[in-house]
């Protein structure tokens, strides 16, 4: 679906390369979480998939990015938008309409979707994003989190093959964030949409994604299945990436030689690990008690 062949990019007015020597590919139906410290190049990477780079942000572009087999430099932003839906870091910059339903209809009309289908898709997208009640609201009166949901609904309505999202839950509370991730998982599983998401909430990512890309200083420094990447939690902490507490706890248990298995990725898994350890240490304790007697 997406292929980066030795890609480097420096912004016209930037200092040095924002991304450097990126070579990777993302297959159909993958759900990829991108993490890394501020300035690592995460947004730049996403902008190279939806064509914002090089069509909107100018600079020096090396290598090639192929999206659904098409070179993003040779395609127009409009062409790319038929394959890639985007949710940007700042919802304010993305919303162009005064009313929520117009914002969602805007993209659909641009794509030439017939009126009756616009209605069906709008209703579905509003429901999936959890904002049916906001349909006729003015976009200027919305909270930051509500604006984020509107941009998600607008992107979903277009039913893209690929969805790139840049910190789409930064202004949502934990319940709202989880709801967005559930929706994304559904889109990924039921519609086979390939998803790339930049997100600070690593625990949520690790619950929902299948693959992590870790970026630092414009490079992808780790890339693989969630558990495999989380095992390098020392490195993640060094980069200032907030490791899920279940991972930090597992590391402590490993350091105390109490556990040697894989890393749990959610609280339920961590609970079963801890219960197992408690049972084992309890048995050991009872055995030593017996031998003393
Ligand atoms: N429009 C721009 N013009 C010039 N330099 C830019 C521009 N956008 C980003 N950069 C620079 O490119 C580098 C990568 O930035 P990018 O925004 O991709 O990082 P990021 O990982 O998304 O960071 P954050 O977590 O803060 O969003 C940084 O050094 C940044 O200063
Ligand atoms: Mg960013």
Cβ atoms of residues 205 and 33 within 8 Å: yes
Domain ranges within the chain, ordered by starting residue = 2-232, 244-293
Q: Which residues of 32-63 are buried (b: 16+ CB within 10 A; e: fewer)?
A: bbbbbeeebbbbbbbbbbbbbbbbebebebeb
Cβ atoms of residues 56 and 125 within 8 Å: no
Atom 26 in ligand 1: which residue has the minimum CA distance?
Answer: 38
0.95 cut: is pTM over it? no
In this prediction, residue 263 carries a pLDDT of: 78
**Residue 105: C-alpha distances to residues 1, 30, 118, 159, 173 (Å):** 27, 28, 7, 13, 27
In this prediction, residue 252 carries a pLDDT of: 85
Report the separation in Å between the CA atom of 198 and the middle of ligand 1, taken as the mean of its atom positions.
Answer: 13
Which ranges of 51-143 would DSSP assign to H, the alpha helix?
A: 52-55, 77-81, 91-94, 100-110, 115-128
Atom 24 in ligand 1: which residue has the minimum CA distance?
Answer: 38
Q: Is the CB of 38 under 6 A from ligand 1?
A: yes
Residue 262 DSSP one-character state = P
Q: Are strands 84-87 and 70-71 parallel, antiparallel or unpaired?
A: unpaired
Q: Which fold is adopted by the domain 2-232?
A: Rossmann fold (3.40.50)
Q: Is the CB of 240 under 6 A from ligand 1?
A: no
In this prediction, residue 219 carries a pLDDT of: 98
Residue 34 CA neighbour count, 13 Å, CB half: 26
In this prediction, residue 291 carries a pLDDT of: 64
For residue 26, give the H/E element and its range. Answer: strand 19-26
Q: Whose atoms come closest to the Cα of 45: which ligand? A: 1
| Tens place of pLDDT per residue across the chain (293 aa) | 999 999 999 999 999 999 999 999 999 999 999 999 999 999 999 999 999 999 999 999 999 999 999 999 999 999 999 999 999 988 999 999 999 999 999 999 999 999 999 999 999 999 999 999 999 999 999 999 999 999 999 999 999 999 999 999 999 899 989 989 999 998 999 989 999 999 998 989 999 999 999 999 999 999 999 989 988 888 888 998 877 788 888 888 888 888 888 778 778 888 888 888 888 877 776 766 666 55
Select from 11, 12, 86, 88 the residue to mutate for testing ligand 1; criterion: most ligand atoms less than 8 Å from CB: 11
In this prediction, residue 57 carries a pLDDT of: 95
Nearest atom in ligand 1 to the alpha carbon of residue 40 is 21
In this prediction, residue 274 carries a pLDDT of: 87
């Amino acid at each position: 679906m997406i292929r980066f062949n030795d890609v480097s990019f420096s912004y016209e007015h930037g200092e040095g390369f924002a991304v450097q020597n990126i070579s990777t590919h993302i297959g159909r139906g993958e759900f990829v979480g991108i993490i890394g410290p501020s300035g690592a190049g995460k947004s730049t990477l996403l902008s190279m998939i939806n064509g914002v780079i090089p069509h909107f942000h100018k600079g020096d572009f090396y290598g090639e990015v192929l999206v659904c087999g098409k070179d993003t430099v040779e395609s127009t932003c409009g062409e790319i938008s038929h394959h890639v839906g985007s949710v940007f870091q700042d919802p304010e910059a993305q919303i162009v309409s005064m009313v929520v339903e117009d914002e969602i209809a805007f993209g659909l009309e641009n794509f030439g979707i017939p009126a009756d289908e616009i209605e069906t898709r709008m209703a579905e997208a509003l429901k999936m994003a959890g904002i049916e009640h906001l349909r006729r609201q003015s976009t200027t009166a919305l909270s930051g989190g509500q604006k984020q949901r509107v941009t998600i609904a607008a992107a979903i309505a277009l039913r893209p093959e690929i969805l790139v999202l840049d910190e789409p839950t930064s202004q949502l509370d934990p319940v709202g964030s989880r709801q967005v991730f559930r929706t994304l998982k559904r889109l990924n599983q039921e519609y086979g949409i390939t998803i790339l998401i930049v997100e600070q909430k690593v625990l949520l990512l690790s619950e929902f994604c299948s693959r992590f890309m870790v970026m630092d200083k414009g490079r992808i420094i780790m890339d693989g299945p969630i558990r495999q990447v989380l095992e390098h939690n020392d490195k993640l902490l060094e980069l200032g990436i907030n490791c899920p507490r279940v991972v930090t706890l597992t590391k402590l248990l490993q350091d105390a030689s109490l556990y040697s298995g894989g890393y749990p990725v959610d609280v339920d898994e961590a609970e079963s690990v801890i219960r197992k350890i408690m049972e084992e240490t309890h048995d050991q304790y009872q055995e030593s008690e017996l031998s003393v007697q």
